[in-house]
Structure 1
Amino acid sequence: MLSVDFTKGGSEVLDRVLDAYGFTMKVQLADHLGIAASSLAMRYKRDIFPADIVVRCMLETGVTLEWITSGKGRKFESAETSALNITRQKLVNGQLHDLGSVLFDAEIFLDTNNLPSAPICLLEGKTQYIIDKRVNEINDGLWLVDIEGKIGIRTLTRIPVKKVNVSGVGVSFDCDLDDITVLGRVVLTME
């Protein structure tokens, strides 16, 4: 039977909550929970079991009660979880800004046997893109590219002799593949 001491151990539990969400900084957790960073710091200092945060974390990430409270047992109910913890970024004025991470069920991909190997979730306006940053070959399709220091989603069409047509926002143009930096391939679009 699981035993929880509600008077201490809160900081260790909060560290596991950070891990469950995939956050690397406490301020990311505070932002996600909608509380001030100083409030989260006080919870760490008081070291009291954060039951409200534990329940929310379990609901949002699917971690088990035993793992989140004690650090023992399986992190997720089944040995193989279909949850993907993906870094989330926002594209603003041609620059990427970190937004922490987001969990997706792998079932959102049509072929769960061929999942992106280095995925990120990119928010641009009201559209979210799942982008695979591991690029083997550039083919026709939607890509995340850096053009002279400005990052954006563009449609690339290969043309002969290592050239590409770039279209999407503004005027389309042809250039050498070496004139742009391809950062990743769009594998899923959600609006």
Structure 2
Amino acid sequence: MNDNRNFAFPENSAIVLDRVVEAYSFTTKLQLAEHLSMAASSLSARYKRNIFPANIVVQCAFETRGTLEWLTHGTGKKYDDGKLDILKFPHKKLIDGQLYDSGYLMFDKVMFSPGIPIPNSPICVFDDKTQYIVDQQFTDVYDGRWLVEIEGKTGFRDLVRIPVKRLRVSGVGMAFDCNLDDIKILGRVVMTCTTN
């Protein structure tokens, strides 16, 4: 029984490399060789070898947004149109009031509740046992949970707007009131995920 779901690399590397040339919008194989910093004779050998050029295909997909399906088999969409339902954004750890880089997080957009806008400039911050999705792009500060920096220390606080251009800051330690400009506001919490 033939199962079409089984993956097989194409036997003809020349066809795959021609698609790579097309994805880059090059008109000659020499342009591809120059782009890859490869001797023309080395690229010619890759054409004749009939061994799948995985490293070239992956680099092309990364640089051109060409889809792996099209580059490999010539089927499906040629380019990723950017309408994926996955967000990739920086992941950070909050340790002793400082943010440290901790890789990236892939997040499915369907995890956001209906009616909540998808964040424009998200980061994920891990603090103790909670992961906070924070949108760093905002136009105004209003009541809610925010990532803030107070006297050089970063943390999450509940902010409430009070007249005139003042905030009530609470959430850790004693609550206090301050001017809007007295603290540095880094982003608004749009979602929390607690782990056990």
Calculate the TM-score normalised by the size of structure 1. 0.64
> Equivalent of 2:78, from 60, 66, 73?
73
Say if 1:158 and 1:165, in contact at 8 Å, map to a contact too: yes
Moved more, 175-184 or 106-115: 106-115
Q: Paired residue for 1:186?
A: 189
> Equivalent of 2:120, from 113, 117, 121?
117
Say if 2:57 and 2:68, in contact at 8 Å, map to a contact too: no
* Cα distance in structure 2, aligned partners of 1:98 and 1:112: 30
After TM superposition, what 4+ stretches of structure 1 lie above 4 angstroms from structure 2? 4-17, 67-70
Structure 2 vs 1, CA of residues 81 and 14 (structure 1 numbering), >3 Å: closer, same or farther?
Answer: closer
* Cα distance in structure 1, aligned partners of 2:133 and 2:89: 9
Amino acid at match of 1:160: P
Alignment of 1:7-156 (within 5 A): 9=53, 11-12=55-56, 65-66=68-69, 73-75=78-80, 80-111=83-114, 114-156=117-159
> Equivalent of 2:170, from 167, 171, 181?
167
Higher gyration radius (CA): 2
Q: How many residue pairs end up in the alignment? A: 146
- Specify the SS of the correspondent of 1:178: helix
Q: Unaligned stretches of 5+ in structure 1?
A: 21-62
Calculate the TM-score normalised by the size of structure 2. 0.62
Amino acid at match of 1:73: K
Structure 2 vs 1, CA of residues 87 and 12 (structure 1 numbering), >3 Å: closer, same or farther?
Answer: farther
Amino acid at match of 2:162: I
Structure 2 vs 1, CA of residues 87 and 178 (structure 1 numbering), >3 Å: closer, same or farther?
Answer: same
Amino acid at match of 2:78: G
Amino acid at match of 2:119: P
> Equivalent of 2:10, from 3, 8, 31?
3
Amino acid at match of 1:110: S
Structure 2 vs 1, CA of residues 125 and 12 (structure 1 numbering), >3 Å: closer, same or farther?
Answer: farther
- Sequence identity percentage: 43
- Specify the SS of the correspondent of 2:181: helix
| Root-mean-square deviation (Å) | 3.2
- CA-CA distance at 1:14 after TM superposition: 6.4
1:80-118 superposed Cα distances (whole Å, 9 cap, x missing partner): 311111111111111111111111110011137721111
Amino acid at match of 1:3: P
- Specify the SS of the correspondent of 1:138: coil
Say if 1:67 and 1:73, in contact at 8 Å, map to a contact too: yes
Amino acid at match of 1:165: R
Q: Does 1:157 align with 2:157?
A: no
- CA-CA distance at 1:8 after TM superposition: 7.1
